[in-house]
Structure 1
Amino acid sequence: MKLAVHDRYDYIPLDDRPVYDWPGGKRLAVCFCNNIEVFSFLDGLGTDSTVIGAPQTTRNFAWRDYGNRVGQWYMFDLFEEFGVPASHNLNSLLMEHCPQIGEKIKQRGDEVVGHGRTNAERQDVLDEAGEAALIKETTDTLAEYFGTRPKGWLGPYLAQTPVTLDLLDEAGYDYVMDWPADDQPFWMRTRKGRILSVPYSIELNDSPAMVFRQHSGEEFERMMIDQFDEMLLQSRKRPLVYTAVLHPFVVGQPFRLRALRRAMEHILKHRDDIWVTTPGEIAKYCAGLPEGTIPGS
């Protein structure tokens, strides 16, 4: 059997790559990646709290809506308490339905990442023209609301078509987080140039962990701490990126928020040894490194 290939990047094993530092001589970058999403009532796609693939109901719509009405505001308080920047993967229709969240993000100066129009749909079922229109609509809405275009993209459900990377590059995006293939950034080829892949965890991610695999808040806390401790140790040898992926309708529930608080306390005790940052700052820093430093350059 001959394997199908994508030709977006080459295989470069971790030990064959140049070693470099993050700002301040740090070796571990830490990002808190927050997903803020809106869903269509009794229609389209949407996560369910109890049954994978369950039909859309008032119950599971309301459970997700809790995140925007309540959980996200708890999380804003937590980010402010610890004094950490956050990046927010935003559905653009959020600006129409929950504008106060956008105003709070403006006030905090957090990073905004394009995350499609809504998580009630996927982009990988669209033709090229339809996908290009989705990217443009998302980009234009966020740019108009926040006054600047998003530089990064995370597709709803991390779903891509064979031309997504090309369309994002052509739409002016600098980086994507849809390819969880690495703990370091790497360049990916597009039909007209390249785009950076910034690490984004689907393992250290509250939705698959606590919704689909039914881990408890305490188990997710242990995952966050163990992932951090091991990556901090591994980063003595090479630069790495630690991402904790959060959703306000999941980890914004108070009993889970308490576990997240404990995990963040543990991580931020090491603040002198880590670079607490955002995916956009990582992409900007990588773009300024000499050619040949980042895999694929």
Structure 2
Amino acid sequence: MSHLPHHGRYAYSAISDRPDFHWPGGRRLAVYLGMNLECFAFGEGLGAELAPGGPQPDVLNYAWRDYGNRVGAWRMLELFDRLGVPVTVLANAWLYDEAPGLIEAFRARGDEIAGHGRTNAERQGVLAETDERALIAEATAILTEREGQAPKGWLGPWISQSAVTPDLLQEAGYEYLLDWCHDDQPVWMATRQGRILSVPYPQELNDIPQIVGRKREGADFADMICDAFDVMLEESARRPLVMGIALHGYLMGHPHRLRHLARALGHMQDRGGDAVWWTTAGRINDHFRSLGR
């Protein structure tokens, strides 16, 4: 009998068969917002597109992305302040120099700052192991210096991983990663020198796949958030769940989309009340680890 190649990181586990547990305060649904703060190279490299790009320098798409750091992210920060919700910042390390004060403004709110590579103009998964290790080390060193503490979590630029990325992250001191969208609960992943926790990160409730990839607009994306929340809130009575929402300033920070994001988050606050743990990916990691599983 033939067998499919397997990653060897975790075994199959049906979510309905796992031991029960609670989030802090007996709550059952953990919600976090993954706020991607990213920078891009001018005239080269990767980047999401508003419209099909022309020859480099592709001013249209570069400037559209730059709007997110100059305007959109700040507009979203004001919304998060009004609603009183924390976020996990997924930070490109070179952004400290490209957009001075932006990451610092989220830090001032008490938000978590997690690693997200050097820039989203590159992928790490295509690099040789020595080069990927160097990328992780450089980004980690910058975040550690600027924040005064090492980041606990990592999301690869473009969700890009090589066959050894979990190993390299664990060896670099990371406690959790966000690249695998395979579950609604944290999952331990094996590495060559121990293990690392996979915290759920969304690819459906993610503005890039929906708005850029599937050409849906802000109203549809907000409806998806509301629908997912309603289902997961009801389901969480049977099992604890994690609901993440992935956001980018150059997408949801535009005025015509922000009003729909505000509507969705307001719906979640009104419906969830005290039953929902509004938190960060890092605190989800901390609590799950404290369970001793």
TM interval, shorter chain, is over 0.9
**Which residue of structure 1 aligns with residue 183 of structure 2?**
182
List runs of 5+ in structure 1 lacking aligned partners: 292-297
Deviation at 1:68, TM superposition (A): 0.1
**Which residue of structure 1 aligns with residue 64 of structure 2?**
63
Alpha-carbon separation, structure 1, partners of 2:142 and 2:224? 36
**Which residue of structure 2 aligns with residue 153 of structure 1?**
154
User: Is the contact between residue 8 and residue 188 of structure 1 (CA under 8 Å) also seen in structure 2?
Assistant: yes
User: Is the contact between residue 86 and residue 111 of structure 1 (CA under 8 Å) also seen in structure 2?
Assistant: yes
User: Is the contact between residue 91 and residue 115 of structure 2 (CA under 8 Å) also seen in structure 1?
Assistant: yes
Alpha-carbon separation, structure 2, partners of 1:238 and 1:120? 39
Cα-to-partner distance string for 1:118-161 (whole Å, 9 max, x where unaligned): 00000011001000000000000011111111000000011100
User: Is the contact between residue 45 and residue 56 of structure 1 (CA under 8 Å) also seen in structure 2?
Assistant: no
In the superposition, the TM-score normalised over structure 2's length comes to 0.97
**Which residue of structure 2 aligns with residue 72 of structure 1?**
73
Task: Map residues 24-63 of structure 1 onto 2, 5 A cutoff.
Answer: 24-51=25-52, 57-63=58-64
2:199 counterpart of 1:198: yes
**Which residue of structure 1 aligns with residue 284 of structure 2?**
282
Alpha-carbon separation, structure 1, partners of 2:54 and 2:285? 35
Residue identity opposite 2:180 in structure 1:
W
Deviation at 1:55, TM superposition (A): 6.2
Deviation at 1:53, TM superposition (A): 10
Deviation at 1:107, TM superposition (A): 1.2
**Which residue of structure 2 aligns with residue 208 of structure 1?**
209
Deviation at 1:50, TM superposition (A): 2.2
Residue identity opposite 1:187 in structure 2:
W
**Which residue of structure 2 aligns with residue 138 of structure 1?**
139
In the superposition, the TM-score normalised over structure 1's length comes to 0.96
User: Is the contact between residue 53 and residue 60 of structure 2 (CA under 8 Å) also seen in structure 1?
Assistant: no
Deviation at 1:2, TM superposition (A): 2.9
Alpha-carbon separation, structure 2, partners of 1:278 and 1:51? 35
Residue identity opposite 1:35 in structure 2:
N
**Which residue of structure 2 aligns with residue 12 of structure 1?**
13
| Residues 205 and 266 of structure 1, relative CA distance in 2, 3 Å threshold | same
Alpha-carbon separation, structure 1, partners of 2:80 and 2:265? 10
**Which residue of structure 1 aligns with residue 174 of structure 2?**
173
SS in 2 for 1:249: helix
**Which residue of structure 1 aligns with residue 258 of structure 2?**
257
- Larger deviation: 53-62 or 172-181? 53-62
Alpha-carbon separation, structure 2, partners of 1:88 and 1:180? 18
Alpha-carbon separation, structure 1, partners of 2:54 and 2:34? 25
SS in 1 for 2:48: coil
| Residues 212 and 51 of structure 1, relative CA distance in 2, 3 Å threshold | farther
SS in 2 for 1:202: coil
User: Is the contact between residue 42 and residue 57 of structure 1 (CA under 8 Å) also seen in structure 2?
Assistant: yes
List runs of 5+ in structure 2 lacking aligned partners: none
Determine what percentage of the aligned residue pairs are the same residue: 50
Deviation at 1:54, TM superposition (A): 8.6
SS in 1 for 2:249: coil
**Which residue of structure 2 aligns with residue 294 of structure 1?**
none
Deviation at 1:163, TM superposition (A): 0.6
Alpha-carbon separation, structure 2, partners of 1:262 and 1:55? 38
Count of aligned residue pairs for this structure pair: 291
Query: What root-mean-square deviation, in Å, do the aligned CA atoms of Structure 1 and Structure 2 show?
Result: 1.3
